[in-house]
Chains A and B, each alone.
Chain A
């Protein structure tokens, strides 16, 4: 049975389900309900099958190699290489796609009669298929084809709600940044082709010694920029906060949970697998970029009051945390500490999985809220916990997971990352040690600031009293949406409880890399599922924490309610308001909540206040008619990086335009010049 499931036919069957789903939903596009049912059904079936497929592949530890050489394109071979890393990423893709599709079945209903549901189903299924193709491609050109497919289908999904102009400009920015990234990826592949003579990853890896050191460094930088643009590291992140809010919520979850991880996947593949051996400064650079992304991501999230933009900035922060694990793995391996490198890789992989789960959960709950409130602005929410209690509970669980609170899964992957960094501080010297200290500091502050940000997000959205009357009309989401969110919430808890067991699986996945064969990560699972690293430098037990918390809480509740003063009466009264009347304008706003932190970090964030007052009489300005205060944060990347870049490119283009003088004689002289140069270069 396992043989059949983990065979080549089965893999092609998996892809086929998604392709058929996309084609079929386009066929029934005239009927909204049918298109919704068809696309969701095929997506759900495909994801379920992908889950089974990847789990079987990981458990049996097989590697699938599928190659086909076609004579028509000599360099392009449609070959797939499914090792354990690819199987793990297929697992993540299928898991998130499954719950997003279940959620989407109920969510898409509000697009009926406004947009083309068949097109949505078409692009959605095609996107998931392309994601699977991207993580399994074994040939550079084939990879680029899959990458293009993924980018284009995601572009159409981002601009799906085309009636809103902001979405169109967001999609445009996303498209441009993706293509800038793709150019750098193409350049790096071309450089590798030039020195090793092939686009096949296996052949490049075998001939890596032919590539000179300086070319490898250039490939590293180009790959970092290219895949970093997709992953969303600072300063190439500017498309993330624009594109994530624009897409439909169930797709935002896939964008944030899976698509940006494909950048991480290729970075793992290139830096840990293909381009080895590498110098140490690669790992340290990735560490520094990860620390900066993590800190700046969470600081920008604190300034946002658009709920989806806030979640998008948190994706940047978590990508930074994953890069911390990746960077430490690279650095340790270059310093001949393979066990610690394996630990770093395990931390990065675990956080990839956890982030995909809790970020999707958060985006799906935010989508439910936006569905009912018809606005992204958190300042118009408030008191939603009374109208949407289940959504509030799921958002709370997601917030606790992303703030790394035990016993949810976010804590355990951050714990592993911390342990890797601690080992770095302990065992390294001088400048490497200080970079690890910087990375640990940024991770420590990121955890605290993320906690503050989610108190703000949850509190401003769900607690206190409504700030607008729209809130009172909100209703709870329908069953399929609740099912999608609820399953993800349960998974955050389960993956946290079983983190010990999962770590052994990640060790197995890491050992599949050729540099880590027969390397032990010195981490083990001891009694009570306690995970210990580095021969008991540290140990933590997830079930013990969970059981301890449950017992302590039950004890507190039972003793307080039933043993002390049973005759106590609970009277319902009003909030103590010092005699005034409290209304929705008197509670703390999301902007006000984070204003203290924004002012503390004003060197980085550069906040600004603008007052506009309109007076009844412009001459004697005594009685104001209306007054507006705009609090904003200056967009540093636009002003100091992208704007000067685009201005200089424009200036350069204007200069070059002078070649096109319109004079025929000049053009003939160009041809003559080109001919002479060509003759010279041949001789």
Chain B
């Protein structure tokens, strides 16, 4: 145990600072209206539940990397939870396969309001690699209403983090619906 602690003390800090660089201020919004109460509610603390709707695990790897010492999503007050009942935001990855359609819907119904749904990765946005296959339903918005999208195949952790932070920033000003 002493060796473990010595190793901990000797490892250098390697955190990657995230600041809003100008080229990444866009937020990809998809039609649905955000619940009115969301203003300022999630800025301090956001609980994310990640749902794998039949994905090829590429996006999952990137999402897991968010909790390591390089990207450290916890420093922004965001943390991952195990149950959709504890969650504020659902991050859905993968083109929804037929077998997972019901599960995604149940997870959505189990999440209490106010909630945000984000589709991560090209597969989740419109089917991506698996578009038009017989086994998939071509994107999450065919099953549950989606609020935001994070494009990429897969998006790197830095991009996911910047999008998440921008979403949280824009929640403040977002009082009207987009169509």
Hey, which bits of chain A sit against chain B, CB under 8 A? 569, 571, 573-574, 576-579
Contact = CB atoms under 8 A, between A and B. Distances in A.
Interface string B96-111: 0000101100110110
B103 A574 contact: no
Contact of A579 (B83, B102, B112, B113): B102
B102 A576 contact: no
A571 B85 CA distance: 12
B109 to A, nearest CB: 6
Q: Which of A569, A573, A577 has the most CB of B within 10 A?
A: A573
Contacts of B107: 576, 579
Nearest to B82: A576
A577 B100 CA distance: 13
Contact of B83 (A569, A574, A576): A576
Contacts of B100: 579
Interface of B: 83-85, 100, 102-103, 106-107, 109-110, 112-113
Given A576-B83, A576-B84, A576-B85, A571 B112 contact: yes
| Interface class of chain A by DSSP | loop
Contacts of B84: 576
Contacts of B110: 573-574, 576
Contact of A571 (B83, B102, B113): B113
A569 B85 contact: no
A388 B90 CA distance: 39
Contacts of B103: 578-579
A604 B113 CA distance: 51
Contacts of B106: 574, 576-577, 579
Nearest to A576: B110
A573 B109 contact: yes
A558 B65 CA distance: 43
A569 to B, nearest CB: 7
21 contacts: A569-B113, A571-B112, A571-B113, A573-B109, A573-B110, A574-B106, A574-B109, A574-B110, A576-B83, A576-B84, A576-B85, A576-B106, A576-B107, A576-B110, A577-B106, A578-B103, A579-B100, A579-B102, A579-B103, A579-B106, A579-B107
A560 to B, nearest CB: 16
Contacts of A574: 106, 109-110
Contacts of A573: 109-110
A577 B110 CA distance: 10
A578 to B, nearest CB: 7
B63 to A, nearest CB: 18
Contacts of A576: 83-85, 106-107, 110
Contacts of B113: 569, 571
Contacts of A577: 106
Q: Which of A569, A574, A578, A579 has the most CB of B within 10 A?
A: A579
B40 to A, nearest CB: 14
Nearest to A567: B37
Given A579-B106, A579-B107, 5 more contacts: A571-B113, A574-B109, A576-B84, A576-B106, A578-B103
Nearest to B37: A567
A214 to B, nearest CB: 62
A573 B109 CA distance: 7
